[in-house]
């Protein structure tokens, strides 16, 4: 912002001559030459719109506080920030808790022994006129997916292997009798046993409580085979996944809060700067009249000073 003003000093020449007879012509001339002056004063107020932007990107609401916006704006952005962090923390911990629960449930109720046994000795129970052998996914261990098996002990030495696919048990179910075969319970395992019919036989209630139901998948009807334990497990996994979705949503809100706060702070900053420029252009001219002190005159009066601010 540029502020300019002109100053005009009018010396009391005649008063000076009356009160000081020893004033020389040279001093009077110098006084006249110094009687009129024009001063330009610059008061720079540099506007940096990037500052509130960076502040808001680091901490939403900080840019609004810098712009001296209404406090409700600052409080709103900070409130959303804190709320998003609290929500993210809660949903993440809840998803992990539910995940540990369904994993413990699966470890208790799904075994490799049951899976292989039900494959070679199918349950005799029927459900709605359909038997176990009517579903090809239940009559073999191989299929669209598999599980990883760890081989140890004498069997590992005999086969010279430490890890194989569960497909191998369809040909060598006797490996299971050695006690040297263990299923790898990783994320792949916990997804497969709840998602695919192929692994239904591993649930401990499969022999006596298995059933099938129709599921509408949009353009067709799909048959899904379950047991009460598997259905319970599927519900537990669904709840855990819902918590994970809430975690993602909380993070999205958190990110958008930073971006929106930054955009709003820049927009407000630029709007205020524009308003100030318009106000300067339409402001009135100010004047000021004051006395000038001159020690050369016995009365100390040197003249009048008239200033115009524009």
pLDDT tens for each residue of 247-265: 999 999 999 999 999 888 8
Q: Is 268 part of a structural domain of the chain?
A: yes
Name which residue leads in pLDDT, 7 or 213: 213
Is residue 154 within 8 A of residue 178, CB to CB? The reply is yes
Q: How far apart are CA 179 and CA 123, in angstroms?
A: 24
Residues 197 and 145 in one domain: yes
Q: How many residues does the chain have?
A: 310
pLDDT tier, 100 (very low <50, low <70, confident <90, very high otherwise) = very high
Higher pLDDT, 21 or 166: 166
By residue range, what is the domain housing residue 56?
A: 2-69+256-309
Q: For the CA atoms of 83, 84, 86, 91, what is the dihedral angle to 10 degrees?
A: 130
- The answer to the question of residue 149 being in a domain is yes
Is there a single domain that holds both residue 65 and residue 123?
Answer: no
- The pLDDT assigned to 216 comes to 83
Cα–Cα distance, 230 to 202 (Å, whole number)? 10
Query: Model confidence at 32, in pLDDT bands (50, 70, 90)?
Result: very low
Position 81 pLDDT exceeds 70: yes
Looking at the domain assignment, is residue 215 inside a domain? no
223 located within any domain = no
Q: Residues 164, 167, 173, 174: what is their CA dihedral angle, to the nearest 10 degrees?
A: -20
Q: What angle do CA 277, 281, 287 make, to 5 degrees?
A: 125
Confidence of residue 279 (pLDDT cuts 50, 70, 90): confident
3-state DSSP helix/strand/coil % of the chain, to nearest 5: 55, 20, 25
Query: Which residue, among 218, 299, 263, 255, has the nearest Cα to 14 in the 3D structure?
Result: 299
CB atoms inside a 10 Å sphere around CB 200: 25
Whether 267 is in a domain gets the answer yes
The backbone region for 121, taken as left when phi is positive above 0, alpha when psi lies in -120 to 50, beta otherwise, is beta
pLDDT confidence of residue 274: 80
Torsion of CA 11, 15, 21, 24, to 10 degrees: 20
Query: What confidence category does residue 149 fall into, taking pLDDT thresholds of 50, 70 and 90?
Result: very high
Name the residue with higher pLDDT: 110 or 267. 110
Counted domains in the chain? 2
Examine the fold and report which residue of 202, 222, 246 is the final residue of a domain before the chain moves on.
202
**6 found inside a domain:** yes
Average pLDDT on 22-30 reads 45
What's the pLDDT score for residue 286? 60
Q: Where are the alpha helices (DSSP H) in the chain?
A: 13-19, 25-33, 50-58, 62-66, 71-109, 112-120, 153-159, 187-195, 206-209, 228-282
- Going along the chain, which residue ranges are E strands? 2-11, 36-42, 126-127, 130-131, 148-151, 163-165, 181-183, 211-216, 221-226, 286-293, 301-309
Tell me, what's the pLDDT at 308?
Answer: 55
Query: What is d(CA 68, CA 218) in angstroms, rounded to the nearest whole number?
Result: 55
Asked if residue 232 belongs to a domain, the reply is no
Question: How does the average pLDDT of the chain come out, rounded?
Answer: 82
Residue that finishes a domain, picked among 202, 219, 235 = 202
Q: Is residue 79 part of a domain?
A: no
The last residue of one of the domains, among 156, 176, 202, is 202
Average pLDDT of span 114-139: 94
- Rg over alpha carbons for the chain, rounded to the nearest Å, is 44
């Amino acid at each position: 912002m540029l502020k300019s003003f002109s100053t005009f000093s009018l010396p009391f020449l005649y008063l000076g001559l009356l009160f000081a007879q020893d004033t020389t012509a040279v001093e009077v001339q110098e006084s006249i030459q110094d009687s009129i002056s024009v001063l330009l004063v610059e008061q720079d107020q540099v506007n940096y719109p990037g500052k509130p932007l960076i502040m808001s990107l680091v901490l939403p609401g900080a840019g609004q506080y810098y712009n001296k916006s209404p406090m409700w704006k600052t409080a709103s952005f900070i409130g959303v920030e804190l709320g998003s962090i609290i929500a993210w923390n809660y949903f993440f911990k809840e998803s992990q808790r539910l995940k540990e629960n369904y994993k413990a449930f699966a470890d208790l109720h799904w075994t490799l022994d049951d899976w292989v046994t039900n494959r070679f000795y199918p349950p005799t129970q029927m459900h709605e006129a359909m038997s176990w052998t009517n579903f090809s996914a239940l009559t073999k261990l191989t299929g669209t997916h598999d599980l990883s098996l760890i081989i140890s002990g004498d069997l590992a030495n005999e086969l010279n292997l430490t890890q194989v696919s569960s497909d191998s048990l369809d040909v060598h179910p006797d490996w299971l009798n050695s006690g040297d075969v263990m299923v790898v319970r990783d994320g792949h395992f916990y997804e497969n046993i709840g998602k695919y019919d192929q692994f239904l036989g591993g649930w401990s209630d499969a022999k006596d409580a298995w059933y099938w139901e129709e599921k509408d998948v949009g353009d067709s009807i799909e048959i899904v085979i379950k047991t009460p334990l598997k259905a319970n497990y599927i519900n537990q996994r669904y709840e855990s996944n819902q918590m994970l979705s809430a975690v993602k949503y909380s993070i999205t809100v958190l990110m958008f809060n930073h971006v929106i706060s930054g955009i709003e702070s820049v927009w407000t900053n630029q709007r205020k700067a524009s308003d100030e420029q318009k106000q300067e252009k339409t402001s009135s001219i100010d004047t000021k009249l004051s006395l000038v002190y001159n020690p050369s005159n016995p009365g100390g009066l040197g003249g009048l000073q008239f200033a115009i601010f524009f």
